[in-house]
Structure 1
Amino acid sequence: MSTPTRATIGDQVAEFNVGFNETVGPDLAAVFAAEQSDLTVAGVPHGTVSVGEVLPEADVVGTTGATVALSDLLGDGASVLVFYRGAWCPYCNITLKHYNETLAPELAERGVALIAISPQTPDGSAAAVTNGDLGFTVVSDPSNTLSGALGIVTAPSAAAQEAHTALGFAVKDSNADATPAIPYPTVVVVDADRVVRFVDIHVDYTTRTETEEILHAVDAV
């Protein structure tokens, strides 16, 4: 089955940004633009997960609050893990909804598990499911335990956190550990032995891994 032709995540983000910047105004838009620029300049930090490593064991929390071993959620073959910031992040919502429409059906046909992971509370994970009408597994990684083991933990800049406050929310209020720590948006593909076969880390949180790239990585496993 071929992936339906539709707007890419990049196309949807570009369209979203026009309205978003108009809504928040030039001052806050400039804060977020500066944060994205700084992240891009800094690049992917040293010590992040790389191809050939074995995915560490971890416990995650489902939308009902029940703790489960990540290994119990992975497929018998390849699995795709999508690390996202939270249901408060519009770029994450665009991405997860897009994956639900374009990626999840293709992976289901291949017998490949798709799991989205964030440091949110279970209620936050449930909100992500509702926002995108998601049909795949969404779990919480409290205290970024798994993300930390993969070296992909970051946090919004101080200026961005102040901008969030001006918009009426705080990242730490959404996270299970009440800190603003979040993962870089990241896609990891592992094989049946839990060996990492593909990693794509996006330091600029407005950009994401497109469906076709993930499918190509899965089909190469």
Structure 2
Amino acid sequence: MTLQAKLDAFKADFEAGKPPYNVPHAVIETMHRATRELIESGATQSALKAGDKAPLFTLNDPTGQPVSSAGLLLKGPLVLSFYRGVWCPYCNMELQALEDALPEFQALGASLLAISPQTAPNSRKSVRKNALSFPILSDSHNDVAAAFGLRFALPDYLIELYKNLKNDLPQFNGDESWTLPMPARYVIDQHGTIIYAEVNPDYTRRPDPEDILPSLRRIRSM
């Protein structure tokens, strides 16, 4: 089953209010509204695309150790995934799919990083929850996400909904800004050029990890 098929199956059960979710229809409608408005805003137009230069960054892993994109690019191409946080079930399913694909990435000489705005303890929870063996990095204030054109501010009505659902992003992220990254996947070659870019304002839509293998093979053949 593809990653998107798994996400679609989860979404169908979640939005149908099946146990253990039991989510009121009004909550689903509010989430749909926020996604629709983000799509209509054209936010993806400001996101970096294939052919653009990727900004360099250094972020800490869950143990507080700095990880440098420049250092990893000296070894080979970089697969980069921006995700919302451990509280997001769609993100967790994506991380698990990336973990499954990691041997294929490594066989093509690539490193894999995932970036979220959450604090180190929540990143450690992501690692445990999803049995990950690749680095999870904390992007405080979504600054790196902003450099890639992915950061957006939640509308007031969605903030209110999240508060009612006890989904306290300031606590998860150690940041009062109520911002998130649009989920995104990038492949960056050793020259720092983005070879593959997938950005979607609909957080329930994620590309399959296998979709990026042709880009890694193309880099390998150069």
Runs of 4+ in 1 over 4 A off after TM superposition: none
Contact 1:59 1:141 in 2 (8 A): no
Q: What amino acid is aligned across from residue 215 of structure 2 in structure 1? A: A
CA deviations on 1:65-108 (whole Å, 9 max, x unpaired) are: 2333332344622110001111111110111111112x212112
Q: Residue type of the partner of 1:118?
A: S
What is the DSSP-based 3-state SS (H/G/I as helix, E as strand, rest coil) of the residue aligned with 1:123? helix
Further displaced range: 67-76 or 182-191: 67-76
What amino acid is aligned across from residue 157 of structure 1 in structure 2? P
Name the counterpart of 2:204: 206
Is the Cα contact below 8 Å between 1:75 and 1:112 reproduced in 2? Answer: no
Q: Does 1:184 align with 2:187?
A: no
Greater shift in the superposed pair: 31-40 or 128-137: 31-40
Tell me what 2:173 maps to.
175
CA RMSD of aligned residues (A): 1.7
Measure the CA separation in 2 of the matches of 1:211 and 1:57: 23
8 A contact 1:75–1:111 mirrored in 2: no
Match of 1:38 in 2: 37
- Contact conserved, 2:81 with 2:183, CA < 8 A, in 1? yes
Deviates more, 1:63-72 or 1:19-28: 63-72
Q: How does 1:1-221 map to 2 (within 5 A)?
A: 7-21=1-15, 22=17, 23-74=22-73, 76-101=75-100, 103-221=101-219
Identify the residue that residue 3 of structure 1 maps to in structure 2: none
Is 1:54–1:196's contact at 8 Å kept on the other side of the alignment?
Answer: yes
Query: CA 1:43/1:8 → structure 2, altered by over 3 Å: closer, same or farther?
Result: farther
Q: TM-score, normalising length from structure 1? A: 0.89
- Judged with a 3 Å threshold, the aligned counterparts in structure 2 of structure 1 residues 51 and 14 are, in CA distance, closer, same or farther, namely closer
Deviation at 1:172, TM superposition (A): 2.0
Aligned length: 214
- In 1, Cα distance between equivalents of 2:138 and 2:45: 25
Ranges in structure 1 where 5+ consecutive residues have no aligned partner: 1-6
- Superimposed CA distance per residue, residues 172-203 of structure 1 (whole angstroms, 9 cap, x where no aligned partner): 22114332211110111111111111111111
**CA distance 1:162–1:75, change in 2 (3 Å):** farther
Unaligned runs of 5+ in 2: none
Alpha-carbon displacement from aligned partner over 1:34-74 (angstroms, at most 9, x marks no partner): 22222233334433212222222212011012333332344
* Residue range with higher mean Cα deviation, 147-156 or 35-44: 35-44
CA apart distance, 1:122:
0.9
What SS does structure 2 have at the residue aligned with 1:120? coil
TM-score (norm 2): 0.89
Q: Report % sequence identity.
A: 29
Which amino acid in the other structure matches residue 37 of structure 2?
D
What is the Cα deviation at residue 152 of structure 1? 1.0
Counterpart of 2:117, as a letter, is: P
1:62–1:122 contact (8 Å) kept in structure 2: yes
Q: Distance in 1 between matches of 2:73 and 2:80?
A: 9
Distance verdict in 2 for CA 1:153–1:124, change over 3 Å: same
Query: Contact between 1:124 and 1:174, CA under 8 Å: does it hold in 2?
Result: yes
